[in-house]
Amino acid sequence: MLDTIFNHRSIRKYKDTPVSEKDLQEILEAGTRASTTGNMQIYSIVVTQDEEMKKQLAPTHFNQPMATQAPVVLTFCADINRFNKWCEARNAEPGYDNFLWFTNAVIDAMLVAQNCCVAAEDKGMGICYLGTTTYTADKIIEILELPKGVIPITTVVVGYPDETPGLTDRLPLEGVVHYEKYKDYSNEDIDRIYAEKEALESTKALLKENNKESLAQIFTDNRYKKVDNLHFSKVFFDVLKKQGFFNQ
Protein backbone atom coordinates (compact mmCIF):
# COMPACT_ATOMS: atom_id res chain seq x y z
CA MET A 1 0.00 0.00 0.00
CA LEU A 2 2.88 2.39 0.72
CA ASP A 3 4.21 1.73 -2.78
CA THR A 4 0.80 2.72 -4.16
CA ILE A 5 0.78 5.94 -2.14
CA PHE A 6 4.36 6.93 -2.93
CA ASN A 7 3.83 6.32 -6.65
CA HIS A 8 0.66 8.40 -6.99
CA ARG A 9 0.37 10.31 -10.26
CA SER A 10 -2.53 12.34 -11.60
CA ILE A 11 -3.62 10.63 -14.83
CA ARG A 12 -5.17 12.77 -17.56
CA LYS A 13 -5.23 10.27 -20.45
CA TYR A 14 -7.19 7.02 -20.25
CA LYS A 15 -7.61 3.83 -22.25
CA ASP A 16 -11.12 2.82 -23.29
CA THR A 17 -10.84 -0.31 -21.12
CA PRO A 18 -13.93 -0.46 -18.90
CA VAL A 19 -13.76 -0.75 -15.13
CA SER A 20 -15.40 -4.02 -14.08
CA GLU A 21 -18.45 -3.89 -11.85
CA LYS A 22 -16.59 -5.97 -9.25
CA ASP A 23 -13.65 -3.56 -9.15
CA LEU A 24 -15.94 -0.53 -9.04
CA GLN A 25 -17.92 -1.95 -6.14
CA GLU A 26 -14.74 -2.73 -4.20
CA ILE A 27 -13.43 0.79 -4.81
CA LEU A 28 -16.69 2.27 -3.55
CA GLU A 29 -16.75 -0.09 -0.58
CA ALA A 30 -13.20 0.96 0.28
CA GLY A 31 -14.42 4.55 0.19
CA THR A 32 -17.11 3.84 2.76
CA ARG A 33 -14.53 2.40 5.16
CA ALA A 34 -13.01 5.87 5.59
CA SER A 35 -13.30 7.64 8.93
CA THR A 36 -16.50 9.67 9.24
CA THR A 37 -17.95 12.16 11.71
CA GLY A 38 -19.79 10.22 14.42
CA ASN A 39 -20.21 7.30 12.00
CA MET A 40 -22.92 9.44 10.37
CA GLN A 41 -21.57 9.13 6.80
CA ILE A 42 -22.75 12.59 5.80
CA TYR A 43 -21.67 12.21 2.19
CA SER A 44 -22.92 10.69 -1.05
CA ILE A 45 -21.13 9.48 -4.18
CA VAL A 46 -22.70 9.87 -7.61
CA VAL A 47 -21.26 7.38 -10.11
CA THR A 48 -21.37 8.46 -13.76
CA GLN A 49 -20.59 5.91 -16.48
CA ASP A 50 -23.19 6.73 -19.12
CA GLU A 51 -21.57 8.51 -22.06
CA GLU A 52 -24.39 11.02 -22.45
CA MET A 53 -24.28 11.91 -18.78
CA LYS A 54 -20.52 12.40 -18.98
CA LYS A 55 -21.05 14.73 -21.94
CA GLN A 56 -23.54 16.74 -19.90
CA LEU A 57 -21.06 17.04 -17.05
CA ALA A 58 -18.09 17.86 -19.29
CA PRO A 59 -18.70 21.64 -19.52
CA THR A 60 -18.85 21.85 -15.72
CA HIS A 61 -15.28 20.56 -15.73
CA PHE A 62 -14.21 23.07 -18.37
CA ASN A 63 -14.36 20.33 -21.04
CA GLN A 64 -11.15 18.70 -19.91
CA PRO A 65 -10.82 15.58 -22.13
CA MET A 66 -10.40 13.21 -19.19
CA ALA A 67 -13.90 14.10 -17.95
CA THR A 68 -15.38 12.13 -20.86
CA GLN A 69 -12.44 9.86 -21.70
CA ALA A 70 -12.25 8.14 -18.30
CA PRO A 71 -14.78 5.29 -18.00
CA VAL A 72 -15.90 6.30 -14.49
CA VAL A 73 -16.59 9.74 -13.04
CA LEU A 74 -17.22 9.95 -9.30
CA THR A 75 -18.81 13.08 -7.81
CA PHE A 76 -18.34 13.25 -4.04
CA CYS A 77 -20.92 15.30 -2.20
CA ALA A 78 -21.37 16.69 1.28
CA ASP A 79 -24.81 15.35 2.20
CA ILE A 80 -26.91 16.21 5.25
CA ASN A 81 -30.13 15.40 3.38
CA ARG A 82 -30.17 11.67 4.07
CA PHE A 83 -29.25 12.00 7.74
CA ASN A 84 -31.82 14.78 8.27
CA LYS A 85 -34.55 12.61 6.77
CA TRP A 86 -33.59 9.69 9.01
CA CYS A 87 -33.69 11.93 12.09
CA GLU A 88 -37.09 13.35 11.17
CA ALA A 89 -38.48 9.87 10.51
CA ARG A 90 -37.34 8.81 14.00
CA ASN A 91 -38.83 11.77 15.89
CA ALA A 92 -35.40 13.43 16.30
CA GLU A 93 -34.84 17.10 15.43
CA PRO A 94 -31.74 17.59 13.23
CA GLY A 95 -29.59 20.69 13.58
CA TYR A 96 -27.07 20.25 10.81
CA ASP A 97 -27.88 23.08 8.36
CA ASN A 98 -24.99 25.27 9.51
CA PHE A 99 -21.34 26.02 8.86
CA LEU A 100 -20.00 23.48 11.38
CA TRP A 101 -21.82 20.59 9.76
CA PHE A 102 -21.04 21.76 6.26
CA THR A 103 -17.39 21.52 7.29
CA ASN A 104 -17.90 18.08 8.82
CA ALA A 105 -19.64 16.85 5.67
CA VAL A 106 -16.84 18.21 3.46
CA ILE A 107 -14.26 16.39 5.56
CA ASP A 108 -16.29 13.17 5.32
CA ALA A 109 -16.61 13.49 1.54
CA MET A 110 -12.90 14.11 1.03
CA LEU A 111 -11.86 11.22 3.26
CA VAL A 112 -14.10 8.90 1.25
CA ALA A 113 -12.76 10.29 -2.03
CA GLN A 114 -9.16 9.65 -1.02
CA ASN A 115 -9.93 6.10 0.09
CA CYS A 116 -11.53 5.44 -3.30
CA CYS A 117 -8.48 6.88 -5.06
CA VAL A 118 -5.98 4.74 -3.16
CA ALA A 119 -8.13 1.64 -3.75
CA ALA A 120 -8.33 2.36 -7.50
CA GLU A 121 -4.58 2.95 -7.77
CA ASP A 122 -3.91 -0.24 -5.82
CA LYS A 123 -5.83 -2.07 -8.56
CA GLY A 124 -3.56 -0.60 -11.24
CA MET A 125 -5.93 2.18 -12.28
CA GLY A 126 -5.29 5.89 -12.53
CA ILE A 127 -7.21 8.75 -11.01
CA CYS A 128 -7.36 12.52 -11.21
CA TYR A 129 -9.15 15.00 -9.00
CA LEU A 130 -11.07 17.70 -10.88
CA GLY A 131 -10.82 20.99 -9.01
CA THR A 132 -13.59 22.49 -11.11
CA THR A 133 -16.37 20.95 -9.03
CA THR A 134 -16.86 23.81 -6.58
CA TYR A 135 -16.51 26.38 -9.38
CA THR A 136 -19.59 25.06 -11.15
CA ALA A 137 -21.46 23.45 -8.26
CA ASP A 138 -24.74 25.08 -9.31
CA LYS A 139 -24.64 23.44 -12.73
CA ILE A 140 -23.59 20.05 -11.34
CA ILE A 141 -26.48 20.21 -8.87
CA GLU A 142 -28.88 20.70 -11.77
CA ILE A 143 -27.44 17.92 -13.93
CA LEU A 144 -27.22 15.35 -11.12
CA GLU A 145 -30.53 16.50 -9.58
CA LEU A 146 -29.00 16.97 -6.15
CA PRO A 147 -31.67 17.88 -3.57
CA LYS A 148 -31.43 20.50 -0.85
CA GLY A 149 -28.83 19.52 1.72
CA VAL A 150 -26.45 18.05 -0.89
CA ILE A 151 -23.51 19.92 -2.41
CA PRO A 152 -20.79 18.58 -4.76
CA ILE A 153 -17.33 18.93 -3.23
CA THR A 154 -14.93 17.15 -5.57
CA THR A 155 -14.92 14.93 -8.64
CA VAL A 156 -12.54 12.07 -9.43
CA VAL A 157 -12.11 10.37 -12.79
CA VAL A 158 -11.09 6.71 -12.70
CA GLY A 159 -9.79 4.34 -15.37
CA TYR A 160 -6.77 2.58 -16.81
CA PRO A 161 -3.88 4.98 -17.62
CA ASP A 162 -2.87 5.72 -21.18
CA GLU A 163 0.19 7.67 -20.04
CA THR A 164 2.98 7.40 -17.49
CA PRO A 165 3.76 10.89 -16.23
CA GLY A 166 6.61 11.51 -13.84
CA LEU A 167 6.07 11.99 -10.14
CA THR A 168 4.98 15.49 -9.23
CA ASP A 169 7.36 17.40 -6.99
CA ARG A 170 6.44 17.99 -3.34
CA LEU A 171 7.77 20.36 -0.70
CA PRO A 172 10.16 18.78 1.80
CA LEU A 173 8.64 17.58 5.08
CA GLU A 174 10.13 20.51 6.96
CA GLY A 175 7.96 22.78 4.84
CA VAL A 176 4.66 21.27 5.96
CA VAL A 177 5.29 19.47 9.26
CA HIS A 178 5.42 21.24 12.64
CA TYR A 179 6.34 19.44 15.88
CA GLU A 180 4.53 20.27 19.12
CA LYS A 181 3.71 23.84 18.05
CA TYR A 182 3.36 25.74 14.77
CA LYS A 183 6.63 27.44 13.88
CA ASP A 184 6.02 30.38 11.57
CA TYR A 185 8.19 30.78 8.49
CA SER A 186 10.99 33.32 8.18
CA ASN A 187 12.03 34.61 4.76
CA GLU A 188 15.02 32.30 4.99
CA ASP A 189 12.72 29.34 5.68
CA ILE A 190 10.59 30.18 2.63
CA ASP A 191 13.67 30.44 0.41
CA ARG A 192 14.95 27.06 1.61
CA ILE A 193 11.60 25.24 1.46
CA TYR A 194 10.80 26.39 -2.08
CA ALA A 195 14.35 26.24 -3.46
CA GLU A 196 14.06 22.81 -5.07
CA LYS A 197 10.67 23.53 -6.65
CA GLU A 198 11.89 26.84 -8.05
CA ALA A 199 15.03 25.23 -9.49
CA LEU A 200 13.18 22.59 -11.52
CA GLU A 201 13.62 22.67 -15.28
CA SER A 202 9.84 22.57 -15.62
CA THR A 203 9.62 25.72 -13.50
CA LYS A 204 12.19 27.49 -15.67
CA ALA A 205 10.21 26.53 -18.77
CA LEU A 206 7.01 27.88 -17.24
CA LEU A 207 8.63 31.19 -16.39
CA LYS A 208 9.98 31.58 -19.91
CA GLU A 209 6.68 30.56 -21.50
CA ASN A 210 4.65 32.98 -19.39
CA ASN A 211 7.23 35.76 -19.15
CA LYS A 212 7.14 35.77 -15.34
CA GLU A 213 9.89 36.38 -12.82
CA SER A 214 8.73 33.85 -10.21
CA LEU A 215 6.71 30.65 -9.93
CA ALA A 216 4.47 32.37 -7.38
CA GLN A 217 3.35 34.76 -10.13
CA ILE A 218 2.25 31.79 -12.24
CA PHE A 219 -0.22 30.97 -9.46
CA THR A 220 -1.38 34.52 -8.68
CA ASP A 221 -1.46 35.89 -12.23
CA ASN A 222 -2.30 32.85 -14.37
CA ARG A 223 -3.71 29.84 -12.56
CA TYR A 224 -5.70 31.18 -9.61
CA LYS A 225 -6.28 34.89 -10.14
CA LYS A 226 -7.83 37.02 -7.40
CA VAL A 227 -10.66 38.19 -9.63
CA ASP A 228 -11.60 34.57 -10.43
CA ASN A 229 -11.25 33.52 -6.81
CA LEU A 230 -13.66 36.22 -5.67
CA HIS A 231 -16.15 35.39 -8.42
CA PHE A 232 -16.25 31.65 -7.85
CA SER A 233 -16.21 32.11 -4.09
CA LYS A 234 -19.38 34.20 -4.28
CA VAL A 235 -21.04 31.75 -6.66
CA PHE A 236 -20.24 28.80 -4.39
CA PHE A 237 -21.39 30.61 -1.25
CA ASP A 238 -24.70 31.48 -2.93
CA VAL A 239 -25.12 27.82 -3.91
CA LEU A 240 -24.46 26.72 -0.33
CA LYS A 241 -27.19 28.98 0.97
CA LYS A 242 -29.60 27.80 -1.73
CA GLN A 243 -28.88 24.17 -0.86
CA GLY A 244 -29.82 24.74 2.76
CA PHE A 245 -26.48 25.28 4.46
CA PHE A 246 -25.65 28.31 6.59
CA ASN A 247 -29.23 28.72 7.81
CA GLN A 248 -27.97 28.95 11.39
pLDDT tens digit string along 52-62? Answer: 999 999 999 99
Judge if 133 and 209 occupy the same domain.
no
Nearest CA to 156 out of 55, 70, 29 is that of: 70
Distance CA 154, CA 245 (A): 17
* Residue 200 domain-assigned (yes or no): yes
* Residue 248 domain-assigned (yes or no): no
* Stretch 117-124: mean pLDDT: 98
Judge if 31 and 67 occupy the same domain.
yes
pLDDT, one tens digit per residue, over 207-216 is: 999 999 999 9
pLDDT, one tens digit per residue, over 139-191 is: 999 999 999 999 999 999 999 999 999 999 999 999 999 999 999 999 999 99
- Between 166 and 247, the higher pLDDT residue: 166
pLDDT at 245: 87
* Residue 147 domain-assigned (yes or no): yes
* Residue 232 domain-assigned (yes or no): yes
| Burial class, 51, CB count within 10 angstroms (exposed 0-12 / middle 13-18 / buried 19+) | exposed
Judge if 101 and 195 occupy the same domain.
no
Question: Does the structure show a pLDDT above 90 at 246?
Answer: no
Judge if 127 and 184 occupy the same domain.
no
* Residue 247 domain-assigned (yes or no): no
Judge if 99 and 190 occupy the same domain.
no
Judge if 112 and 144 occupy the same domain.
yes
* Stretch 221-229: mean pLDDT: 96
* Stretch 131-140: mean pLDDT: 97
pLDDT at 248: 57
Distance CA 18, CA 29 (A): 19
* Stretch 2-23: mean pLDDT: 96
Burial 158-189, CB ≥16 within 10 A → b, else e: bbbbbeeeeeeeeeeeeeeeeeeeeeeeeeee
* Stretch 22-38: mean pLDDT: 98
* Stretch 29-54: mean pLDDT: 98
Mean pLDDT over all residues of the chain?
96
Single pTM value for the model: 0.95
Judge if 131 and 215 occupy the same domain.
no
pLDDT at 53: 98
Judge if 27 and 124 occupy the same domain.
yes
Question: Does the structure show a pLDDT above 90 at 109?
Answer: yes
Judge if 133 and 184 occupy the same domain.
no
Instruction: State how many domains the chain has.
Output: 2
Distance CA 190, CA 194 (A): 6
Q: Which domain holds residue 72?
A: 2-164+226-242
pLDDT at 221: 96
Judge if 179 and 148 occupy the same domain.
no
Looking up residue 6, the CATH number of its domain turns out to be 3.40.109.10
Question: Does the structure show a pLDDT above 90 at 223?
Answer: yes
* Stretch 105-129: mean pLDDT: 98
* Stretch 98-123: mean pLDDT: 97
Judge if 189 and 94 occupy the same domain.
no
Distance CA 191, CA 174 (A): 12
* Residue 105 domain-assigned (yes or no): yes
Judge if 186 and 107 occupy the same domain.
no
* Residue 213 domain-assigned (yes or no): yes
pLDDT above 70 as % of the chain: 99
